[in-house]
Amino acid sequence: MGKVIAELVLADPIAELAAGFVRKGNNFEGADLGEFLGQEKTGYKITSNLDQFVKSCEAIIDFSSPVFSLECAKKAAENGKIFICGTTGFSEEDKQRLVEYSKQCAIVWSSNMSVGVNLLFTLAEKVAAVLREDYDVEIVEMHHRNKVDAPSGTALSLGAAVAKGRGVDLKDVGNMARSGANNPRKKGEIGFATLRGGDVIGDHTVIFAADGERIELTHKATNRNVFAAGAIRAAIWGSGQKPGFYLMRDVLK
C-alpha cells in the first residue's frame, strides 16, 4: 500500500513525496525513494526514524496497524502535521485517543479511503432512512485470505450508516455472526457476513430485503489505487483545515 501511495504522489500535480517510513531492520532503510520506485533519484531517503520522518513531511498518510497509527498520530500532533489514517481495527478507546490528538492537528480517518465507498456510506444511510425496519438488512463483505480483522472496518462503517439512517445504535442491533439451530432473525437487526479468500481487495454489499423485493448496494475494489488516491485527496484537503477530527465524508462535501 505504501508503494502505491508513493507512486501516485510522485505523479500528482499538487502533492510532493518527501519521505518514506519502514520498520527498523527493513532492507529498504536508507534507500532513495525514487530508486525504490524504479524511477530517478529524488534525494529523499526511506527511514526507520519516526521523528525524522514526521518532521520532514507536511502530511502523513498511514495504512498500518492500530498500535503504530496511534504512535504516528501522537507524533503528528506534537509537530502540527496533517495525519491521514486508513487503518482499521481501532477500539473505541483508540478512537478517542485519535480525537484527543486532533486538538493539535488535522486528522482525517476513514475505514475506507475510496471515494466510491464513502458515497456508498451516504447511500446506505439514506436508503435505510426511507425503508426503515420494513426491510431486513444484511451486510456482506469479502477480502483476501490474509486480512485479520472481521467484519472489516468498512462493513462496520456501513452498518453504522444504516443504523444512523434508522435512528438506532449499531451496538444495539448488530449481529456479527449467526450460528446454531435456534437463532431466528430479530426484527430491526443488522446482520453481517464475513468471507475471506484469494486475493480479493475488497467487496462490500448492503442488502435491503423484504417480501417480494430486494435492493442491493455494492462496491468492489479491483486495485488499491482507489484507496491511495482518496488518501492523497484527503491530505491536500487537510492542508486547508484547522486542527480537528475529520472523516473522509467531510473531504468529499
SS3 10: helix
Write down the pTM of the prediction. Answer: 0.82
| Matching residue, cell 451496538 | 171
DSSP state, residue 18? -
Q: What domains are defined for the chain?
A: 2-113+224-251 (3.40.50.720), 115-221 (3.30.360.10)
Residues 6+ apart with CB under 8 A from 226: 113, 114, 115, 116
User: Catalytic amino acids?
Assistant: 143, 147
Assess contact for 19 and 33: CB atoms under 8 A: yes
**pLDDT tens for the chain, residues 1 to 253:** 888 998 899 889 999 988 999 888 888 888 988 888 888 888 888 999 999 999 999 999 999 999 999 999 999 999 999 999 999 889 999 999 999 999 999 999 998 999 999 999 999 999 999 999 999 999 999 999 999 889 999 999 999 999 999 999 999 999 998 888 888 899 999 999 999 999 999 999 999 999 999 999 999 999 989 999 999 999 999 999 999 999 998 998 8
